[in-house]
Chain A
Amino acid sequence: MSSLVTLPVLLPILGSALTVLAGRSARVQRVIGVVVLTAVSAVAVALLAVADRSGPVVAEMGGWPAPVGIVLVADRLSALLLLISTLVTLAVLVYAIDQRIADYGREAASTTFHPVFLLLSAGVSLAYLTGDLFNLFVAFEIMLAASYVLITRRTNASRIRSGMTYVTVSLTSSLLFLTMIALIYGATGTVNMADLAGRIGELPTGLQTVLGLLTLVVFGIKAAIVPLHFWLPDSYPDAPAPVTALFAGLLTKVGIYALLRTQTLIFPDDRPSVVLLVLAGLTMIVGALGALAQDDLNRLLSFLLVSHIGFMLFGLAVFDAAAVAGTALYIVHHITVQATLFLVSGLITRRTGTVSIEAMGGLARMSPWLAVLFAVPALTLAGIPPTSGFVAKLALLQAGAGAGAAATLAAGVLIVASLLTVYAMARVWVRVFWGAVRPPLPDPDPTDELVVGTARTAKPMYVATGALVGVSIAIAVAAGPLSAITARAGHDLLDRGPYRTAVLDVEPLR
């Protein structure tokens, strides 16, 4: 059973290699991609079932036990996030495949897109599953290397500019990450996270604080926490819709996951952290206000993404089992809905030829299905009952309300940010879907990867987007069992016992 844990990492890498070998057959590449991601989803379901029933599943690479060897660990949280991420990746791949068919024809193979896409998926899986801080760095590097290619391929000058911001910020944060690992290893002699959980406590308090803050900065950049968020609205919106959807859905969430894992396992606290609460409040409100000022649909969605990162940080800041569980539930909900919204934005842009909200109008009459596909995730993101956003927000608010004055204040900010989200979404709805019908604008740059202003949209692109909408509805329907799982996951995270026992075979800490 434990060998299953390695498959979500190795299968996409194998698929990536095979798609390179099959560089001349577009059909084979598509089949490999879809089969691999479907297989990984199945493995993720099995891992979640096992982890929920009988505790974390641990695989020791090469048979070397922790803390010397490298381990992959699937506990409730990582298995759940792996499952939802793989499902979203699969839907985005289907969307991207059909977009490529619509734009370049059925026979157009690519020796970069498919391999790099699968490599990105392998990096995301590794980030969720690794039980080792250095391996987490490797996972981030795999993801980033793949994302550099995806964000700049078939590009033009403006996308190179935004790509440069992204690459520079990512490299800086990688450098800090490496420094952090070196400091932690120098201070404790281990990089195994379960082992670190026992060792960090032996260090002087000041050193603990420094290491904890460094972790916060490193993963804060990845997760786009205000004031480290500036790169995100600058770099995401310019990429093609499937790429942006994947980045917005997964990459920032992997940063939040890493923060959640390290803060609960290595730097635990017994009361709400005021620093994190302030950062969470700032992130929520700056993101939401930024969204109101945007005319570019993708930039608006990017700012909302930043705002909702604050929601997830809020749960971590409150730091009790229920709040952390709320964060886990919110990540699951947000991965799905944010990816969906960017895919829908891609569909809208193909229809209208522009990303400017002011230049659109009357889409509801032109394309009613598109209106439905936008309305459902927009309501979900805003958190209108009975959507999954409502369920997740309620979980966060319930946990935050009783956790002291600072947490209650931050919960108030959360409600304000939610209302601002509703307003931003309503503004998009009124401008884009109502009003007079406008003819599509021509593609400003026909040579680049972005094809816009065409009515040619393959039906499977709608189906893939619709499937993601279905997933977010399923999350709302299955909210009961799902929040039961996240509640157990939250309890595990704060308890630390099951994770450490599974990895190290030691007695629980407290």
Chain B
Amino acid sequence: MSVPERGPLSEPASEQSALWLGDTPDEEWTPPGKTPVGAGRTLMLEMAARVLFPTVLVFSAYLLLVGHYGPGGGFSGGLVAGLAFVLRYIAGGGSEGAEIVARLHIRPRQLAGGGLTLAVLTALAPMLFGQPALTSAKLSAQVPVIGELDLVTSLVLDVGVYLLIVGVVLELIRSLGAGIERDARDAEEPAR
């Protein structure tokens, strides 16, 4: 029998799994060792979060794009993307919120403000062409391989809303989630 045994229990975990999967992330998603053991982390949820996080983000992008004709749009897409971050926050054991946001190199407020600006400017733009506000135009183009591609300008508004919602959810994780836990810890400190 030349096939090596692949049972996960019998192998040194980290090196082998990197060998199998070949796509070890550059950054640590749910870094072990930084959070004290027993701080509300569960292995199952953490593993599930690792698998689900990129999938949910792709799904949110799908919702964003499909929103013009089908169920979806910037708001629901943004909420789903926000939920992906909430999942990471919960899996990461509570105090992760601020770290997630910091590691993403995103300032949530800038994201929200930028998204809202984009959305309002898209709403105002048609007035420059003498159309009522919020009018959308349809641009069609022949793209090689894919075929005919329609771009409705209201997609830009949806992208703005998407960014706004993601920004707001990240801000909520940082201020209400991690912030409140930090305050609670600080309040407990003197009592110990």
Check B109–A111 contact: CB distance below 8 A.
yes
Q: Are A21 and B121 in contact (CB under 8 A)?
A: no
Bound: A23/B113 CA distance, A = 9
Instruction: Give the interface centre of A3, A60, A115 by most chain B CB atoms within 10 Å.
Output: A3
A14 and B109 form a contact (CB under 8 A): no
A residues within 8 A CB of B123? 6, 10
Say if the beta carbon of A187 comes within 8 Å of chain B.
Answer: no
A70 and chain B: residue at smallest CB distance: B134
Shortest CB distance B14–A (Å): 41
**Contact call B109/A61, Cβ cutoff below 8 A:** no
Quick check: is A135 within 8 A (CB to CB) of the other chain?
A: no
Contacts of A403 in B (CB 8 A): none
- Which residues of A are found within 8 Å of B133, using beta-carbon distances? 3, 6, 10, 59, 61-62
Contact check, A62 vs B132: say whether CB atoms are below 8 A apart.
Answer: yes
Assuming the contacts A10-B124, A63-B131, asked whether A20 and B136 have C-beta atoms less than 8 A apart, the reply is: no
Set of chain A residues within 8 Å of B115, measured between Cβ atoms: 17
B113 and A61 contact, CB distance less than 8 A: no
A14 touches B136 (CB 8 A): no
Inter-subunit contact B132/A10 (CB<8 Å): no
With known contacts A3-B127, A10-B124, A20–B132 Cβ distance under 8 A: no
B42 on the A face (CB < 8 A)? no
Q: Point out which of B114, B131, B133 has the most chain A C-beta atoms below 10 A from its C-beta.
A: B133
Q: Which residues of B contact A115 (CB under 8 A)?
A: 113
B:63-109 near A, CB below 8 Å: 109
Q: Tell whether, in the assembled complex, residue B134 and residue A23 are in contact, meaning their CB atoms are under 8 Å apart.
A: no
Residues 29-73 of chain B, each 1 if its beta carbon lies under 8 Å from chain A, else 0: 000000000000000000000000000000000000000000000
Q: How far is the CB of B134 from chain A (nearest CB, A)?
A: 4
- With a CB–CB cut-off of 8 A, which chain A residues contact B165? none
Question: A59 CA to B124 CA in the complex, in Å?
Answer: 13
Which residues of chain A from 1 to 33 have a CB within 8 Å of any chain B CB? 2-3, 6, 10, 13-14, 16-21, 23
Interface residues on chain A, size class: 20 to 34
A19 CA / B132 CA spacing, docked (Å): 26
Q: Once the chains are docked, how many angstroms separate the CA of A62 from the CA of B114?
A: 23
Say how far B64's CB is from chain A's closest CB, in angstroms. Answer: 19
| Contact B135 A62, beta carbon cutoff 8 Å | yes
Residues of B within 8 A of A2 (CB): 132
Whether B120 contacts A14 by the Cβ 8 Å rule is yes
Q: List B contacts of A17 (CB < 8 A).
A: 113-117, 119-120
Give the contacting residue for B116; candidates A20, A23, A63, A111; CB below 8 A: A20
**Nearest-Cβ distance from residue A342 to partner chain B, whole angstroms:** 30
CB nearest to A62 among chain B residues? B134
Give the Cβ gap from B171 to chain A, nearest Cβ, in Å. 9
Contacts of A23 in B (CB 8 A): 109-110, 113
Complex: A206 Cα to B19 Cα, angstroms: 75
Please tell me which one of the listed residues A3, A21, A59 contacts residue B113 in the complex, with CB atoms under 8 A apart: A21
Contacts of A6 in B (CB 8 A): 123-124, 127, 132-133
B112 at the interface (CB under 8 A from A): yes
B109 to chain A, nearest CB (A): 6
A13 contact from B110, B116, B132, B135, Cβ within 8 A:
B116
On chain A, the residues within 8 Å of B135 by CB distance are 62-63
Q: How far is the CA of A115 from the CA of B117 in the complex (A)?
A: 12
Asked whether, in the complex, the Cβ of A21 is within 8 Å of the Cβ of B124, the reply is: no
Question: B132 and A63: CB pair below 8 A?
Answer: yes
Count chain B CB atoms within 10 A of each CB in A10, A23, A111 and give the residue with the most: A10
Query: Bound complex: CA of A442 vs CA of B109, how far in Å?
Result: 36
A10-B131 in contact given A18-B113, A20-B109, A21-B113 (Cβ < 8 Å):
no
CA distance A115 to B115 in the complex (A): 14
Interface string of B118-158 (1 = CB under 8 A from A): 01110110010001111110000000000000000000000
Q: How far apart are the CA atoms of A3 and B113 in the complex, in Å? A: 24
Partner of A21, one of B114, B119, B127, B132: B114
Question: Which 3 residue pairs across A and B have the least CB separation, nearest first?
Answer: A20-B113, A17-B116, A21-B113
Q: List 5 A-B contacts (CB under 8 A).
A: A14-B117, A20-B110, A21-B110, A61-B134, A111-B109
Give residues in A with beta carbon < 8 Å to B.
2-3, 6, 10, 13-14, 16-21, 23, 59-63, 111, 115
Q: Interface residues, chain B, CB within 8 Å of chain A?
A: 109-110, 112-117, 119-121, 123-124, 127, 131-136
A-B contacts besides A23-B113, A61-B132, A115-B113, 13 pairs, CB < 8 Å: A10-B120, A13-B120, A14-B121, A14-B124, A18-B113, A18-B117, A20-B113, A23-B110, A60-B132, A62-B132, A62-B133, A62-B135, A111-B109
